[in-house]
Chains A and B, each alone.
Chain A
Amino acid sequence: MEHARHVFRIALVLLVVITAIFLGRGFLVPRSYGTFGPYRADNVAEQMKIRPPAHAGAASCAPCHKAKSEAHDAGGHKAVSCEVCHAPLLRHVTNGTVSGKMPVDRSFTLCARCHRRIQGRPDKFPQVILEQHVTSKLEGAVCLDCHDPHSPKP
């Protein structure tokens, strides 16, 4: 036993470490953790407070952009929300007044996301093989040279 002193010391260190871990955990687990599941329940309210909704849906564009909105609602893109190609409303309007220019994504890659031919898409859905469909250089807003995104014709 006399020669096992170092074993007792390391065992003591181990005990201290393990106790510190368990005690520390007691302090570190947030109070509302586990109320509804393995997450901090208070976080839900906190996240809602710090993140005002940025998207407002297609209906929120109509009051100011009546003509565009009507054309959009009658066209083939009626199911595509304005904020898919334009930025979320919050970038353009804050508290009911215009606060900045609305950014628009005119890139061909955005169009290609839905209209590039992939076997997995329904046959009737308009889709093209980009390299064959576009004869000029495949870049920038090339699709918009021929197609009106608000009311596209195939």
Chain B
Amino acid sequence: MPEITGYAFPNDIHVHWSLMIVMYPYITGFVAGAFIVSALFHVFGREEFRPVARLAMATSLCFMAVATLPLNLHLGHPERSWLVMVTPNLSSAMAGFGMLYSTYLLILVLEVWFVWRQQIIESARRSRGWKRTFYAMLALGTYDTSPEAIAIDHRAATILAAIGLPGACMLHGYVGFIFGAIKANPWWSSPLMPVIFLLSAAVSGIALLTILYQVVAKLNRRVIEGRTVAALARWLWFFLILTVTLELLEIIMLAYEKSESWHIISQLLTTRLEFSFITIQMVVGSLIPFILLGVVVLMDRYLHDRVRNTLCIASSILLLLQVFSMRWNIVIGGQLLSKSFRGLRSPYSPEIFGREGILVAIALLIMPFVLLWLFNRVLPIFGDDKPHAAGGHEPPPVTAPVAGVHAG
């Protein structure tokens, strides 16, 4: 039996947007967040991000590949999903997703091609048989790896990253727009929503890369670059502060205005969302990482590498949790208040086995990493560049993203 509190409309007591609609912005957020990291290197020339730039781009692409799955799982009938592209209803905000998604996917694939082109050619030269045909097709039949051609690749990647950055921002800002533009729901309807979604996407992307970079480096027995981790921590701290400030500002505004919606939102936050909002999103997911990352950023020079890396991993895990709970509180929280604004609907707990259940959500989160592993098998992410020790004074090679030359 549903548990309703207060004066809720009796014909409207269920939560319809399920766990999958929580997963959708969560996964899309990684796409945008990871791309921001790769853009920091490709567009803004932050050298400290060189070791993660290609990993970031590959991560972005792999999460992109599964970004539509939660929606398909929620709506059913995946065979109809292409219709949103062919016959979009332009008066519906949802139509925007198809267009933004495919445009951004095109840009991302092009950029990946330019960044990995040298490697594709190397692989084509090295392999035989069908493998050679495959790489030759990927290389589009041109094997030009002269410094001039590589310089062109570099420039193309920079231009594409510069176009892709607003693309990624629009893709994820748009996800926030879907919620922010629902004027009937005071917990969603806010122009801040796209901004908050975007900033928390940056948080989740950087947090994921902080973990992924260290794990991948450990697995490959490579040096974990201290300055890269420290730089990731700095940006993570910056975006964490921005996103939590805005998240809190929105609530403080509502609370101070004491508008009619505050009556129900205050109840929502202190009853239904007490654990997921106050405990997880604000304390465990924001305050603790804020302190941990603050230690890393402000006291970096006193920290041993291992201490810094561990602190970064710990706060990144908490931040991944924070962003997930933020998506949960927005998506599910927004559906818990009745349209009467005087009562709360029954709480939502996801099923375990169903199509929109917890196991599927876990599978969705694992899938991008499997894709990343496959990607790495086809187009090695770290290439053949030597693990250069921190502080090495080797001049950076002409191919900025593809560090080093094939060492044999």
By a beta-carbon cutoff of 8 Å, the part of chain A in contact with chain B is 3-7, 9-10, 13-14, 17, 25, 28-30, 33-34, 38-40, 109, 112, 116, 118-121, 130
Distance from B13 Cβ to chain A, minimum over Cβ atoms (Å): 8
Contacting residues, chain A, for B6 (C-beta < 8 A): 119
B149 close to A29 (CB less than 8 A): no
Inter-chain CA distance A121–B1, complex, in Å, is 17
Instruction: Supply 7 A–B pairs (Cβ within 8 Å), ascending by A.
Output: A3-B146, A5-B142, A5-B144, A7-B156, A9-B141, A28-B82, A112-B1
Residues of B286-343 contacting chain A, CB below 8 A: 338, 340, 343
Measured CB to CB, the nearest residue on chain A to B4 is A118
B142 close to A9 (CB less than 8 A): yes
Measured CB to CB, the nearest residue on chain B to A6 is B142
Selecting from B14-22, B87-95, B354-362, the interface stretch reads B87-95
B148 close to A3 (CB less than 8 A): yes
Contacting residues, chain A, for B366 (C-beta < 8 A): none
* Most chain A C-beta atoms within 10 Å of own C-beta, residue among B87, B88, B110, B144: B87
Known: A10-B110, A120-B10. A3 touches B152 (CB 8 A): yes
Inter-chain CA distance A121–B338, complex, in Å, is 14
B140 close to A29 (CB less than 8 A): no
Measured CB to CB, the nearest residue on chain A to B141 is A9
Known: A25-B86, A120-B8. A4 touches B110 (CB 8 A): no
B343 close to A120 (CB less than 8 A): yes
Residues of B100-144 contacting chain A, CB below 8 A: 106, 110, 113-114, 117, 139-142, 144
Measured CB to CB, the nearest residue on chain B to A27 is B86
Inter-chain CA distance A130–B82, complex, in Å, is 47
Contacting residues, chain B, for A9 (C-beta < 8 A): 140-142
A28 close to B86 (CB less than 8 A): yes
A120 close to B340 (CB less than 8 A): yes
**Main secondary structure on A side of the interface with B:** helix
Assess whether B7 is interfacial by the CB under 8 Å rule. yes
Inter-chain CA distance A91–B113, complex, in Å, is 59
Measured CB to CB, the nearest residue on chain A to B149 is A3
**Cβ-defined partner of B140 (8 Å) among A4, A10, A34, A112:** A10
Inter-chain CA distance A120–B9, complex, in Å, is 6
Distance from A3 Cβ to chain B, minimum over Cβ atoms (Å): 4
**Main secondary structure on B side of the interface with A:** loop
B90 close to A38 (CB less than 8 A): yes
Contacting residues, chain B, for A119 (C-beta < 8 A): 6-8, 343
The 3 A-B residue pairs whose C-beta atoms are closest, nearest first, are: A38-B89, A3-B148, A3-B149
A38 close to B87 (CB less than 8 A): yes
Measured CB to CB, the nearest residue on chain B to A9 is B140
Contacting residues, chain A, for B148 (C-beta < 8 A): 3
Measured CB to CB, the nearest residue on chain A to B150 is A3
Contacting residues, chain A, for B146 (C-beta < 8 A): 3
A38 close to B91 (CB less than 8 A): yes
Besides the known contacts A6-B140, A13-B140, A38-B90, 9 further A-B residue pairs in the complex with CB atoms under 8 A apart? A3-B144, A6-B117, A6-B139, A9-B140, A29-B87, A33-B87, A38-B91, A120-B343, A130-B1
Contacting residues, chain B, for A6 (C-beta < 8 A): 117, 139-140, 142, 144, 149, 152-153
Inter-chain CA distance A28–B83, complex, in Å, is 9
* Most chain A C-beta atoms within 10 Å of own C-beta, residue among B1, B7, B88, B141: B1
Distance from B92 Cβ to chain A, minimum over Cβ atoms (Å): 8
Inter-chain CA distance A68–B362, complex, in Å, is 53
Inter-chain CA distance A9–B140, complex, in Å, is 7
B8 close to A4 (CB less than 8 A): no
Inter-chain CA distance A9–B153, complex, in Å, is 13
Distance from A66 Cβ to chain B, minimum over Cβ atoms (Å): 33
Inter-chain CA distance A120–B113, complex, in Å, is 59
Inter-chain CA distance A151–B139, complex, in Å, is 79
Inter-chain CA distance A75–B141, complex, in Å, is 83
A121 close to B149 (CB less than 8 A): no
**Cβ-defined partner of A4 (8 Å) among B4, B9, B82, B152:** B152
Inter-chain CA distance A116–B3, complex, in Å, is 11
Measured CB to CB, the nearest residue on chain B to A130 is B1
A118 close to B10 (CB less than 8 A): yes
Known: A7-B152, A112-B1. A118 touches B8 (CB 8 A): yes
Distance from A23 Cβ to chain B, minimum over Cβ atoms (Å): 12
Digitize B336-376: 1 where CB-to-A-CB distance is under 8 Å, 0 elsewhere: 00101001000000000000000000000000000000000
Inter-chain CA distance A9–B152, complex, in Å, is 14
Inter-chain CA distance A17–B10, complex, in Å, is 51
Digitize B375-398: 1 where CB-to-A-CB distance is under 8 Å, 0 elsewhere: 000000000000000000000000
Distance from B80 Cβ to chain A, minimum over Cβ atoms (Å): 12
